[in-house]
Amino acid sequence: MSIDRVPLFCWALLATSFSVVFAIPSLTAASALLELERLYGFHFFGAQAGGDPLLWQHLFWIFGHPDVYIIFLPAVGIVGSIVPVFARHSMVAYPWVALATVLTALLGFGVWVHHMFAVGLPQVSLAFIAAASMLIAIPSGIQVFAWLATLVRGRPRIDTALLYVLGFIVVFVIGGITGVMFAAIPFDQQTTDSYFVVAHFHYVLVGGAVFPMIAGAYYWFPKITGRLLDERIGTVGFWLVFVGFNLTFFPMHIAGLMGMPRRVYTYPDDMGWGVYNLLSTIGAVVLTLGVLTIGANVALSLLRGRLAGSDPWGGNTLEWTTSSPPPAYNFAVIPVVTGRDPAWDERAREDDRRRLERGELVFPEGHETVSTTPFAGDLQGPIEMPEDSWWPLALAASLALVFVGLIASLDLLAVAGGVLVAVSLAGWQWPREAAA
Amino acid sequence: MTTIAYVDGRFPRSPAWWGMLLFITTEATLFALFLVSYFYLRFESIGPWPPNGSDPKLLVPTVMTALLMASSVPAYLADTSIRRGDVDRLRFYLASTLVLGAAFLALQAYEYHDKLRSLRPQDDAYGSLFYTITGLHGAHVIVGLVLLGWVLFWAIRGRYGAHRCVPVEISSLYWHFVHVVWLFVYLSLYLSPRL
């Protein structure tokens, strides 16, 4: 599968992984320095011996803003998977959406200071970051218009998965508009630390990530379990969630503009914020009912949902060509992909079946797959895949012990964890047999 | 088994090689952020840098730099030897890398011992940064020595050959990273205060 044919979900995860690799070390650095300061008396952030609290804010947000996209980009991938299937039309502007996804991840590393507009940084830095923050609207706009265009050109079937995608588009665009407002520095300095910010980030994160996750659950649940989620309960749940969400978070815009600060749990009677908070509370109850409805739907459908078969939606990607749930080996023959909608490509799938009969690209012995060139997808040769092993889990558990030991100042526990880390690594890397 | 038209002449990289490359990327990012923190606090500080006025001594760290640069050569040769299936040379070059790396660590211990008398990490931000960054690098050297020692152990027991050389390849790759990142540490912590 060449890179211009991989599903948009894979593009989204590629961009997300890129962000993870470069963003998480910043959290590691910030946490390590903080631990050294708090436990061992080093000086990095306290101003008394040459440290600077702003260094903490920088390190945290160099991680924190890319992390917003680490949360959001997989959701973009889910939406890109669902829209063409329910529109019954190939994704419009596929290359633009793929590149917009990557561009969002890249720009995400250049905007961290917009979380720090009010801490007193030089005007020049603020202006740069404001410009970069406004730029984010361009790739986001490309994606939204591409999804809408795909829906307009297709013949959409409004199932629950697509309902959540439509809800996502509405909520995310509102959150995006307030996002562009924050990029204007004077506006940000007026509304910073107010409920307007709380409203904004719930619109982008709940609208941007949670709605698509629920959509993805409705879409892939039958592939994972073999049973469909109930559509009637699903529709009721969607409207509860959509109305409840907006009722909870929209009034916060107004309360915020009226001056209600975030992170303070109470306020005086006569501020005039009461009615907006009452609406939010009612909304929270409705939203909770909606979430409970989804949970009930999952429980009911697991037990006696309609059987899905391999392809309940007429999906365009390869997972819909195998059984639900898929067999442990996924595909008996490695499919050769010649288009962007491989499951709709009858001739290519027929070729796969013929290859299976001839035993081509079939790896019956052991954990093997083919390596391909990264861009063109040309076959390079068989590669051995890792075998099943408990050692990586043991390694992760040992690492957790080390850090629990360090945080709780139980030095012995940390040392014991360190020894277990070494043992796990040794066990994992034990050479299997003598070289020929 | 199968008849597939593979691309000629290009040997696929093992997943382990990609994993090591990504690991090096995260570690390089971590070092970059620590050095950014160093320069951030340095340029925010008022008065001389280092604050106690004495620039770090150069002789020992310069010898350390030379040792680490030199150690990359046998690490590279270990990799090329095993690709030819030459196990004897593999053992020799791995042992040479280990000796040079251990010498680097010994000198770092000596430098710490000497320096701790005039500067402790708790004294000020400069001391904290100096010991944290050099200590982070030292930890990476220790990990590298354990890794190479492990590979040498199995090389002596004859577990590697021309077609089973990935552990040697990726340990060597890691060791080159430890060497290259030290150059940035050396430039930032030892040379730049004198500019």
User: Comparing A214 with B12, which gets the higher pLDDT?
Assistant: A214
The reported pLDDT for the residue numbered A377 is 86
- The set of residues, in sequence order, having a beta carbon less than 8 Å from that of B97 and lying 6+ positions away, is B71, B74, B75, B78, B148, B175
Residue A234 · residue A99 · CB < 8 Å = no
The whole-chain average pLDDT of chain A stands at 93
Q: What CATH topology corresponds to B55-194?
A: Four Helix Bundle (Hemerythrin (Met), subunit A) (1.20.120)
State how far residue A40 is from chain B, nearest Cα, in angstroms.
8
Element (H, E) at A231: helix A231-257
A319 DSSP assignment:
G
Residue of chain B whose alpha carbon sits nearest to that of A425: B147
CB contact under 8 A, B2 and A378: no
The pLDDT tens digits of the residues spanning A8-32 come to: 999 999 999 999 999 999 999 999 9
Q: Which two tokens stand for residue B104?
A: 């680097």
Interchain CB distance below 8 Å, A379 and B6: yes
DSSP assignment of chain B equals -----PPTT-PPPPHHHHHHHHHHHHHHHHHHHHHHHHHHHHHH--S-SSTTSPPPP-HHHHHHHHHHHHHHHHHHHHHHHHHTT-HHHHHHHHHHHHHHHHHHHHHHHHHHHHHTTT--TTT-HHHHHHHHHHHHHHHHHHHHHHHHHHHHHHHHTT--BTTB-HHHHHHHHHHHHHHHHHHHHIIIIIIGGG-
pLDDT value of residue B2: 42
Q: Across the interface, do B44 and A52 touch by the CB < 8 Å criterion?
A: yes
| Residue A361 binned pLDDT confidence (cut-offs 50, 70, 90) | confident
Q: Is pLDDT above 90 for A363?
A: no
A89-141 per-position pLDDT tens digit: 999 999 999 999 999 999 999 999 999 999 989 899 899 999 999 999 999 99
Pick among B120, B128, B145, B174 to test the A interface (most A CBs inside 10 A): B128
Distance CA A259, CA A254 (A): 9
Tell which of A20, A352, A371 to mutate to test the B interface (max B CBs under 10 Å): A371
H runs (alpha helix) in A6-93: 8-40, 53-87
Which residue, among A109, A110, A112, has the nearest Cα to A57 in the 3D structure?
Answer: A112
Beta-carbon separation of A359 and B1 below 8 A: yes
How far is it, in rounded angstroms, from Cα A21 to Cα A11? 15
Q: Do A28 and B30 touch (CB under 8 A)?
A: yes
The predicted-structure confidence for B120-143, as pLDDT tens digits, reads as follows 999 999 999 999 999 999 999 999
% of residues, chain B, pLDDT over 70:
94
How confident is the model at residue B1, as a pLDDT? 39
Residue A1 binned pLDDT confidence (cut-offs 50, 70, 90): confident
CA–CA distance, A166 with A76 (Å, rounded to integer): 13
Measure the CA–CA gap between A79 and A97, rounded to whole angstroms: 11
- Tell me the nearest-neighbour CA distance from B151 into chain A, angstroms: 10
DSSP 3-state assignment of A71? helix
Query: Helix, strand or coil for residue A383?
Result: strand
Please name the residue of chain A whose CA is at the shortest distance from the CA of residue B126. A50
Nearest to A109, CA basis, from A150, A73, A63: A63
CA angle A239, A245, A250 (to 5 degrees): 125
Q: Which of A96, A101, A109, A97 is nearest to A72 (CA)?
A: A101
ipTM: 0.91
Residue of A25, A360, A386 with shortest CB distance to B2: A360
The nearest CA of chain A is from the CA of B13 a distance in Å of 8
Average pLDDT, chain B: 91
Residue B8 has pLDDT above 70, yes or no: no
Q: Are A314 and A346 in contact (CB under 8 A)?
A: no
pLDDT at B3 over 50: no
CA distance A108 to chain B (A): 16
Question: Is there a contact between B150 and A52 if contact means CB atoms under 8 Å apart?
Answer: no
Q: At A102, list the tokens.
A: 């990557």
Contact B30 A431 (CB under 8 A): no
Task: Kindly report the nearest CA distance between residue B30 and chain A, in angstroms.
Answer: 5
The 8-class DSSP code of residue A49 comes to G
Could you give the CA distance from residue B16 to residue B164 in angstroms, rounded to a whole number?
12
Per-residue pLDDT band at B11 (split at 50, 70, 90): low
| Contacts B169 to A, Cβ<8 Å | none
From B106, B21, B125, select the one nearest B64 (Cα to Cα).
B106
Considering only residues A145 and A429, tell me which one the structure prediction assigns the higher pLDDT.
A145
State the greatest distance between any 2 C-alpha atoms of chain B, in Å, as a whole number.
Answer: 72
Percent above pLDDT 90 for chain B: 76
Nearest chain B Cα to A41, which residue?
B122
The residue in chain A having the minimum alpha-carbon distance to the alpha carbon of residue B131 is A42
- Search chain B and give the residue with CA nearest A383: B14
Answer yes or no: do B41 and A52 touch at CB < 8 A. yes
Q: Which residues of A touch B21 (CB under 8 A)?
A: none
Nearest CA in chain A to B124: A49
Contacts of B160 in chain A (CB under 8 A): 431, 435
Could you say which of B12, B123, B125 has the minimum Cβ distance to residue A381? B12
Note the pLDDT of residue B6: 52
- Across the A:B interface, residue pairs with CB atoms under 8 Å apart total 122
Q: Residue A433 has what pLDDT?
A: 63
Q: What is the pLDDT of residues A378-401, one digit of tens each?
A: 888 888 787 788 999 999 999 999
Q: Which residue has the higher pLDDT, B13 or A25?
A: A25
The pTM of the whole model exceeds 0.90? yes
